[in-house]
Chains A and B, each alone.
Chain A
Amino acid sequence: MKSMGRTDLPPEQQRALRSAVRWEWFTIGYTVVTIVLIAFVVGGSQAMKTAWIEDMLSLIPQISFLVALLLIRRKPTRAFPYGLHRAMGVGHLVAGVALLAIGGSLAVESVLGLLRAEHPAIGTVYLFGQTIWLGWFMVAVMTLIVVGPFFYGHAKAKLAPTLHNKVLFADADMAKADWTTTVASVVGVLGIGLGWWWLDGAAALFISAGIVWDGYKNARSAILDLIDQRARTHDDAEAQPLIGRIVDALEAQPWIGEAGVRMRDMGQVFHVEAFVVPHRRKVTVAQLEAARHAISEMDWKMQDVVVIPVTDLPDETERRSRVAG
């Protein structure tokens, strides 16, 4: 796991990537165990059922991360001259759309249940000579599994910026918010226990609204990168600060008068097109190579860098004065 397409990963990123892969496998293992545990107790509670399906859905980002990782490590070929970096974005989009669609159908289901005033039924189990209400087991299982996402959520959230990986970031973000799902399902079950049947449907609606929101955020972020928005930070919070640094580095070269940059996120690595207006009419190959090299050296994420001498900068490029925005 030393390279990523054309890029050789620096030691810090290699370590982070190995760690991320371990955490993803750990998460998959943990989630499979929770899915099996919940299967034993799911019963008639809509909130439990929704939380259960959410658990299943939460596997998609991890699986798509691991699959995409196999693809994006390949070097560019003649058939795929940009490498396969978009695989990460495609995985991100698939995860987002799945969350959106299934979350939506779960939300409709819980609203219909509430409108029809369906009273959820939870029976008992016979264990060690005792008849015990299944609701207590639901509460116990959910209380037991609430701790996991805290650990792997925070661990992955630390790795995501180092790797500039949006799937990992979104995954960590969802894991960190996972406890709200658990709390909601426990509230729903206790509601049933107290005879407040509507609390279960309300909890299910809350959980499915969370799934829809996650789906919307993920699908949106994936689509924006796939249609080549200006590169942004791993959390989409602001324009990628590297753009400004590239412009500065180019304009520091004595032969360049003005520079403008177009940079897109290929998923983890960037594709940089730098337009430069030279002071004189003649530009040497050595000068262009030096400029290109300076940009590539700036950060491991600079996968594909082209420097193009022009007489006027294209309007849509980022320049020194505009980068702030």
Chain B
Amino acid sequence: MPRVLRILAVASLALALTGCGIPTDPEGTLARIDADGTLRAGASPSGALVRVSGDDVAGSLVDLVEGFARSRGAEVTWEVDSEEALVDALESGALDLAVGGMTDQTPWSDRVSVTRGFTGIDGAEDTPVVFLLPMGENATQSALEAYLDEELRR
């Protein structure tokens, strides 16, 4: 049995060292964003975080999502809807990401991936705000969280 452990240790070490490919998205969201150059994002109005006027979306969360897309060389196509409709779209794979001032207490965590709560976003201050992603798209989540860490902790 220790042999199994040793093999596993070596395998994990090898994966960790060459680990650029980990984590991977089971549905390939991040790779698709990179390849297509489009990030399909959903927005639900929420105070200063997400402002909607006509076709125009703005706000600090919108800026962060657009900044993330830019960092991957992609453009954002926005879709404005209610939170539940956005969650449905994330589940069916029609959206890559959704914002709307949800906090780390959001009840949607059963159906979609929820990022860590980020504080220090303009208009939210100390409230930990989260971003919603399709369930289990861990590479996308890691990339987004890494971007937000960099952006918000500067």
B11 → chain A closest CB, angstroms: 8
| A124 adjacent to B141 (CB under 8 Å) | yes
CB-CB under 8 A from A179, the residues of chain B are 1, 4-5
| B142 adjacent to A131 (CB under 8 Å) | yes
Select B12's contact among A120, A190, A192, beta carbons within 8 Å: A190
Interface residues of B (CB under 8 A from A): 1, 4-5, 8-9, 11-12, 15-16, 19, 21-27, 113-116, 133-139, 141-142, 145-146, 149-150, 153
Cβ contacts A to B, 9 pairs, < 8 Å: A119-B135, A119-B136, A121-B135, A122-B23, A124-B116, A131-B145, A131-B146, A133-B138, A139-B16
A59 → chain B closest CB, angstroms: 23
CB-CB under 8 A from A124, the residues of chain B are 116, 141-142, 145-146, 149
Say yes or no: A123-B26 contact (C-beta < 8 A), given A143-B12, A187-B8: no
B52 → chain A closest CB, angstroms: 28
| B16 adjacent to A123 (CB under 8 Å) | no
A161 at the binding interface (Cβ < 8 Å): no
| B113 adjacent to A123 (CB under 8 Å) | yes
* A182 to B101 Cα, complex, angstroms: 38
B147 → chain A closest CB, angstroms: 9
| A192 adjacent to B4 (CB under 8 Å) | no
A299 at the binding interface (Cβ < 8 Å): no
Select A193's contact among B22, B145, B150, beta carbons within 8 Å: B22
| B135 adjacent to A118 (CB under 8 Å) | yes
CB-CB under 8 A from A125, the residues of chain B are 116
A80 at the binding interface (Cβ < 8 Å): no
Given contacts A143-B9, A195-B24, 14 further A-B contacts (CB under 8 A): A44-B113, A119-B137, A121-B113, A121-B135, A124-B141, A131-B149, A131-B150, A133-B138, A136-B16, A183-B8, A190-B11, A190-B12, A193-B19, A193-B24
* A131 to B133 Cα, complex, angstroms: 18
Say yes or no: A123-B115 contact (C-beta < 8 A), given A136-B16, A183-B5, A183-B8: yes
B16 → chain A closest CB, angstroms: 6
Interface residues of A (CB under 8 A from B): 44, 118-126, 131, 133, 135-136, 139, 143, 146, 179-180, 183, 186-187, 190, 192-197
Say yes or no: A196-B26 contact (C-beta < 8 A), given A123-B116, A190-B15: yes
CB-CB under 8 A from A118, the residues of chain B are 135-136
The 4 residue pairs across chains A and B that have the minimum distance between CB atoms: A119-B136, A195-B24, A131-B146, A121-B113
* A124 to B145 Cα, complex, angstroms: 7
Q: Which A residue sits closest to B116, measured CB to CB?
A: A123
* A150 to B94 Cα, complex, angstroms: 49
| B24 adjacent to A194 (CB under 8 Å) | yes
Say yes or no: A195-B116 contact (C-beta < 8 A), given A122-B138, A131-B142, A186-B8: no
* A131 to B68 Cα, complex, angstroms: 15
| A197 adjacent to B26 (CB under 8 Å) | yes
* A180 to B75 Cα, complex, angstroms: 46
CB-CB under 8 A from A192, the residues of chain B are 23, 136, 138
CB-CB under 8 A from A194, the residues of chain B are 21-24
A121 → chain B closest CB, angstroms: 4
Residue from the set B8, B23, B133, B141 with the largest chain A CB neighbour count within 10 Å: B23
CB-CB under 8 A from B5, the residues of chain A are 146, 179, 183
